[in-house]
Amino acid sequence: MVALEERLSPVPLCVDLDGTLVRSDTLHETFISASVLLRRPSGIRSLIRHGRAGLKQHLARYAKLDVRTLPYNEELLDYLREQKAAGRRLVLVTGADHAIADAVNEHLQLFDDVIASDGTVNLTGRAKARMLIARFGEKGFDYAGNGRPDLVVWRAARAAVLVNTPPGVTAAAGRAATVERHFDGRASQLKALVKAMRPYQWVKNILVFVPLLTAHAYADFGAWSAASLTFLAFCAIASAIYLVNDLVDIQSDRLHARKRFRPFASGKLSVPTGLGAALALLAVGASLAAGAHAAFGIACYVALSLSYSARLKERPLVDVFILAALYSVRMFAGGQAVGHPVSLWLLGFSSFLFLSLALVKRVQELREIAEQGVTRTARRGYFVEDLDLLTIFGVASTFSSALVLALFVQSEASEELYAMPQLLWGIVPLMLFWQCRLWLSTVRGQMHDDPILYAAFDWVSWAVVACLVVILIFAKWASFIVY
């Protein structure tokens, strides 16, 4: 370790930005958040003319990166403030474009100087080492970095500050320079990836079994196999979509009280890892869907989900209808796979039910931001003033679903499927009670971000499900049970 009097000497401490001062990579974020390279052909020309430095400059110019919400390394920041207070000169030295580096410095009010890429020179690796040697001389500076490209800089530095370095880089850095400090707060990429995939959301994919159950094809083992493959396909595809959605929503998630802790928003999961996993999951899901003969339903789900993530979630009312449709598509795909298409009765009932659940989600979000004093949801088309109207829409959808269910109970279709269809009347008040209870929990501020997940951990919901199952069994096989 470097002695205290040496550490507090006039030798400047140069600090990297991406992966060091912040846990994420600003290049990846600017590209993902705005896709400006694709929307502005001049970005492609910049990339061809000036390579990576030109691309960074183009993205920094047109992408709107909010440096105030970046996942800063707080432990490192505390250390830098201590060094600053002791009179040490701090220099931000980064491969990010100057526009981003200057914005970060303006926000933090911490660094004495900023050295960054300028559209022509990509200030990473050897280029960064040469720049620092020219400015401060060989061994005339200390350097804080995080990755293998920083090794060449550490070799030219007097001392090294290691920030979240992998074990191999840590060992190599120890051989390249004297280690002044080591900040190790690395998160497991695998653990963060699994969290971002949201396996708890897979419970929604049970909807693929609904057409098989409503068709009473309980003994069709081929149908069960196809439905199971479809279920697994939706699990893979849904997780891929969640990854893409979180990538697109990085900046808006950082403004949310809970969502800012999501893996991408917090910097625990890198953008390349998330993109790679999303592509792999899409491939797995497509293969499983083809094997289950549910490719069309899966394709519709992917198209709707990506459209929702890209733009449609910003359109008021359109977003909730899309969310409701995503539930219905699961049932359609399940019906396609098992050979029992969704009936019009089931479609009518489920459409109103899913619309109500989607509105629960939006109302809960609006209630949260209203408590925070915010007037509008990020990347949504709603204002706090819309809260009462959306609640009316949702409750109306709840009672509409109950009405459709009641009409089915007294229809000829129920008489063909059930031995004692009159017993089905019991499911109408049960379903109405369950949905009304969801709305009561929502207006009281007790609802989870997702009503399905709320119900999955709610004992009353499980009791309602148990009663529904008993009623359906008696309605179907009443004569066998009685005699």
Residue 14 and residue 192: Cα distance in Å, rounded? 30
pLDDT at 481 over 60: no
Name the strand (E) or helix (H) holding 95: strand 90-97
Check: CB of residue 30 under 8 Å from CB of residue 80. no
Residue 365 and residue 11: Cα distance in Å, rounded? 50
Gyration radius of the chain over CA positions: 28
Domains of the chain in sequence order: 4-186 (3.40.50.1000), 190-482 (1.10.357.140)
Check: CB of residue 41 under 8 Å from CB of residue 109. no
**pTM score of the predicted model:** 0.83
Determine the pLDDT at residue 34.
53
* 10-27 mean pLDDT: 93
Residue listed under structure tokens 């659940």: 357
Count of CB atoms situated within 10 Å of the CB of 347: 15
Lowest-confidence segment of 8-12, 226-230, 345-349 by average pLDDT: 8-12
3-state secondary structure of 308: helix
Determine the pLDDT at residue 50.
54
Determine the pLDDT at residue 171.
94
The β-bridge partners of 92 are: 15, 114
First to last CA, the chain: 85
- Taking only the tens place, the pLDDT of each residue in 99-150 is 999 999 999 999 999 999 988 888 899 999 999 999 999 999 999 999 999 9
CA distances from 389 to 162, 213, 363, 385 (A): 53, 36, 10, 8
Per the model's pLDDT, the better-predicted residue between 10 and 340 turns out to be 340
Q: How far is CA 449 from the centre of its chain?
A: 13
- Taking only the tens place, the pLDDT of each residue in 137-146 is 999 999 999 9
Per the model's pLDDT, the better-predicted residue between 185 and 377 turns out to be 185
Q: Which of 254, 160, 238 is nearest to 203 (CA)?
A: 238
Count of CB atoms situated within 10 Å of the CB of 185: 12
The β-bridge partners of 145 are: 162
Mean pLDDT (the chain) is 87
Count of CB atoms situated within 10 Å of the CB of 171: 11
3-state secondary structure of 18: strand
Determine the pLDDT at residue 251.
85
* 437-444 mean pLDDT: 92
pLDDT at 45 over 60: no
Backbone angles phi, psi at 161, to 5 degrees: -110, 115
**Cβ-count burial of 416 within 10 angstroms (0-12 exposed, 13-18 middle, 19+ buried)?**
exposed
Determine the pLDDT at residue 383.
86
* 396-421 mean pLDDT: 89
Lowest-confidence segment of 238-242, 280-284, 368-372 by average pLDDT: 368-372
